[in-house]
Amino acid sequence: MASAKPAPVCLFEAMVNAQDDAMFTVDGNDAVCSWNHAAQRLFGYAASEALGMPLAELLAEQPTTPDGGGSGDQALSAQRVLRDRHGMLLSVLVTRTPIGGPAPGTLASLITVHSLQSTPLQGADAPRQRAMNVYESLVEGSDDAIVTKTLAGIVTSWNPGAQRLFGFSAAEMIGESITKIIPLDRLHEEEMILQRIAAGERVEHFETVRTHKSGSLVHVSVTISPLRDAGGRVVGASKIARDIGERILAAQTIWRQANQDTLTNLPNRSAFRRQLEMEVARAERESGHFALLYADLDHFKMVNDSLGHDAGDALLVAVAKRLRAALRGSDVLARLGGDEFTVLLPTLDDPLALHTVSSKLHDALAEPFAHASHPIHVSASIGMAMYPRDGTSADELLRHADLAMYEAKNEGRNRTIVYEASMDQRARGRLLLAGDLRRAAQQGELYLAYQPVVRVSDGEALKFEALMRWRHPAFGTVHPARFIPLAEETGLILELGDWVFRRAAQQALRWCELHGAPIQVSFNVSPLQLTADVDHTAHWGAHVRDIGLDPSRLVVEVTETVMLDDSPRIAQRLRELRRQGFQVAVDDFGTGVSNLAALSRIEVDYLKIDQSLVRKLPDDPRKLAICEAIVAMAHRLGIQVIAEGIETDEELERIRDIRCDFAQGYLYAQPQDEARATQWLLEQRERRALSRGDA
Ligand code: C2E
Ligand code: MG
Ligand code: MG
């Protein structure tokens, strides 16, 4: 049977190569003729380079005892200093055993070299030493912490970078356990690392935290490599740690910016959407339910405008806190922006429980909020939508809760309204209307209705208020309460407002010419007309001069909330209009947070007491007292007062009692188109002439 013979030589070679000690043979001339792996590791020469090399190459100093010749056949051992390929000095134990040379009669020696140290000796001016010096200064000068430790975790070196990063000096760390800088909950991590290092693996760029001497945590990115002794055995680890605190901070900031509302620290719109989508998915899987609330603060803009943005911001923060405290931990409260908040109530669908939650939210806001000058009263309008009844997607639920909130506003604010399908139709109606409104102006569907304003003392009507009307081809007469907000939302009010001004001016001119009496026409101006970047009122003065109208025949009506806005732009535009000769009236006075101080900033000619104050005036002594105070104050400021919404003789009597100057209301006439208003004017002149004649 011709089978391969066992190869004793190969086996022998493998054994030799497996040795930890360097082993090689030299011939009679002391030239290397074999070279094991350990020799390669220790001296740095590959076998191919070492073969034929004179033994003297390896000697750092010339031997003082003749142990190189190999006289006799005794093994000789001696401690020697040898030199590796880089010139590095090695302290070793050398054993030289004479053996038979490859050819009969020749001499050879087996040389075994046992390393006596784990780190190489320092050698003077060898290239490697120069390299070492460079490394050392690199380590010393590095911004990174560079540390070595034994496999037991005992620190063996500690550079200045490590001192900067961890606070401990080299003296405090060398010889100590590395666990000094490892937080308790990370100790397992260190164990795992040491195991991997012992197995010769490198651990690269893992991010972790360490403890600073001060006790604070330090975020670091760490790379750990095994440290080997001259024989290639892993004896420890070197670790490079880099401070990533700033990067972590930046990452956290980016996360927060993307997910958190910076003012209140609540989840922001996009974070809330994600939560909502997750909740929809969960409810879908589990056939579950949940509810979504959409809350909008009432009259928040007024607070912001009158008290300033800082106060507005502080109020939002306080509101967020109260809402949060009124909810359970599992409920998600978010701020979508502005004064809009949303709440996700997981697993809730019982109407009674939902009612309780919404009452809690209203109650949470009931107590006034503290502010430097006076307490601020806040309420919220809340819309509610339920999954799956009112929608099965995040978008649909949000839209429907928003629509319900809009209804809550319309119904008088400070309440919660649950979504109903009819709201969707109404919203679509509004959208259609907004589209129609754009065309309405051009197609002549808009007109002004005029309502007389009567002097209380003698019943004479020399003033009219112009009120916009829309004769819609399909819906009939649409009232301003429905379309003015749309016009304001879409910005169309700027054009419409200008149109109203021209119409009112024309009408005033016509009536003045017709009667030879100074008839005055007032018209309403939206806040946007006074705050828009482009000043649409700038040319009004020139226009009335062009058509030959005395500007004092026109009165600009601005709402009380406009007066509260302390933006210099509004004050400046109103002042300019007055300077041009127009008069100014404050409309709906007494409905908002009456800011009498505003009257000292902006001069006005008339205050119009809102209908809500005039209503039931005869039965309500408190309302009467308020109206009386308003009239008295206005008169002291040289301002005349108009009471709106006078419907009965009793109401007229009361406002006469408190010396109100003018009255406007259904008692005299409804707002009516130009022809009827002119007719009314003629008739009342005739009546007056008659009654004067009778007297
Ligand atoms: P406003 O300026 O306070 O106008 C008075 C409102 O009260 C008018 O409603 C008028 O029809 C109504 N009114 C008058 N007398 C009585 C009464 O005795 N009883 C009752 N219950 N109501 C009475 P209207 O015309 O529906 O206008 C509503 C609001 O729409 C106006 O309130 C004004 O703020 C706004 N508006 C009207 N026309 C314009 C306009 O051309 N431009 C702007 N920006 N707003 C307008
Ligand atoms: Mg008005
Ligand atoms: Mg009014």
The per-residue pLDDT for range 245-302, each reduced to its tens digit, is 888 888 887 888 788 898 999 999 999 999 999 999 999 999 999 999 999 999 888 7
Ligand nearest, relative to CA of residue 610: 3
pLDDT tier for residue 649 given thresholds of 50, 70 and 90: very high
Question: Which residue from 332, 331, 335 is spatially nearest to 316, judged by alpha carbons?
Answer: 335
Span from the CA of 411 to the centroid of ligand 2 (angstroms)? 22
For position 512, what pLDDT does the model report? 92
Q: Which two tokens stand for residue 317?
A: 């923060």
Look at residue 455 in the predicted model and tell me its pLDDT: 97
Q: Which atom of ligand 1 is nearest to the CA of 488?
A: 44
How many A from CA of 358 to the centre of ligand 2? 36
Distance (Å, rounded) from C-alpha 547 to C-alpha 544? 5
* Atom 42 (ligand 1) nearest CA: 524
Sheet of 416-418, strand order: 332-337, 340-346, 290-297, 380-387, 416-418
pLDDT at 31: 92
Where does the pLDDT of residue 566 fall: very low under 50, low under 70, confident under 90, or very high at 90 and above?
low
Structure tokens at 24: 């090689």
Return the residue matching tokens 């030199």: 83
Structure confidence at residue 126 (pLDDT):
55
Instruction: Identify which ligand lies nearest to the alpha carbon of 560.
Output: 3
More confident residue, 163 or 688: 163
* Separation of CA 339 and ligand 2 centre (Å): 28
Residue 481 CA: which ligand is closest?
1
Helices (H), 19-119: 37-43, 47-50
Name the one residue in this structure whose structure tokens are 């109208």.
Answer: 549
Give the tokens for residue 527: 């806040």
* 3-state secondary structure (DSSP) of residue 221: strand
Q: Given this model, what pLDDT does residue 590 score? A: 80
Q: Evaluate the CA torsion angle 253, 257, 260, 263 in order and state its sign.
A: positive
Please name the residue whose Cα sits nearest to atom 17 of ligand 1: 645
Share of the chain above pLDDT 70, in %: 90
Matching residue, tokens 């719109």: 269
pLDDT at 130 exceeding the cut of 70 = no
Gap from CA of 588 to ligand 3 centroid (Å) = 4
The helix or strand, by DSSP H or E, that contains position 91, with its residue range, turns out to be strand 89-100
**Separation of first and last alpha carbons in the chain:** 156
Tokens, residue 97: 């055993």
Residue type (1 letter), 495: E
User: In a mutational test of the pocket of ligand 1, which residue from 437, 447, 451, 467 has the highest number of ligand atoms less than 8 Å from its CB?
Assistant: 467
Which pLDDT value is given to residue 658? 94
- Pick the ligand that lies closest to the CA of residue 672: 1
Model pTM score:
0.54
User: What residues sit around ligand 2, an ion, with C-beta below 5 angstroms?
Assistant: 524, 557, 587
Phi-psi group of 120: left, alpha or beta (phi > 0 → left; psi -120 to 50 → alpha; rest → beta): beta
Q: Tell me, what's the pLDDT at 350?
A: 82
Of the ligands numbered here, which is closest to the C-alpha atom of 652?
1
| Residue 666 binned pLDDT confidence (cut-offs 50, 70, 90) | very high
Q: How far apart are CA 157 and CA 238, in angstroms?
A: 9
Q: Which atom from ligand 1 is nearest to the alpha carbon of 608? A: 3
Q: What is the pLDDT of residue 393?
A: 96
Residues with CB under 6 A from ligand 1: 451, 467-468, 479-481, 484, 500, 523-526, 557, 587-588, 611, 644-647, 664-666, 671
Q: Residue whose CA is closest, atom 24 of ligand 1?
A: 480
The SS3 of residue 78 is strand
- Using a pLDDT cut of 90, give the percent of the chain over it: 47
Determine the distance separating the centroid of ligand 3 and the alpha carbon of 439, expressed in angstroms. Answer: 27
Write the single-letter amino acid at 28. G
For residue 671, which atom of ligand 1 is closest to its CA?
11
pLDDT in tens, 181-224: 999 988 888 888 888 888 888 888 888 999 999 999 999 999 89
For residue 487, give the ligand 1 atom closest to its CA: 44
Question: What residues does 557 pair with on adjacent strands?
Answer: 524, 585
pLDDT in tens, 527-554: 889 988 889 899 999 999 999 999 999 9
70: confidence class by pLDDT, cuts 50, 70, 90:
very low
The preferred substitution site among 454, 555, 644, 652 for testing ligand 1, maximizing ligand atoms within 8 Å of CB, is 644
| Cα-based torsion angle of the residue sequence 184, 189, 194, 195 in order, rounded to the nearest 10 degrees | 130
Mean pLDDT within 84-111: 78
Ligand 1 midpoint to CA 645 (Å):
9
The alpha carbon of 589 and the centre of ligand 1 are apart by a number of angstroms equal to 13
- Tell me, in angstroms, the distance from the centre of ligand 2 to residue 587's CA: 5
pLDDT at 506: 97
Residue 467 CA: nearest ligand 1 atom is: 38
Please report which confidence band the pLDDT of residue 685 belongs to, taking 50, 70 and 90 as the band edges: confident
Query: Could you say which ligand is closest to the alpha carbon of residue 482?
Result: 1
The two three-digit tokens of residue 589, written as one number: 């006075």
Compute the distance from residue 631 Cα to the ligand 3 centre, in Å.
Answer: 16
CB atoms within 10 A of CB 77: 13
CA distance 563 to 573: 12
Ligand 1 centroid, distance to 296 Cα (angstroms): 26
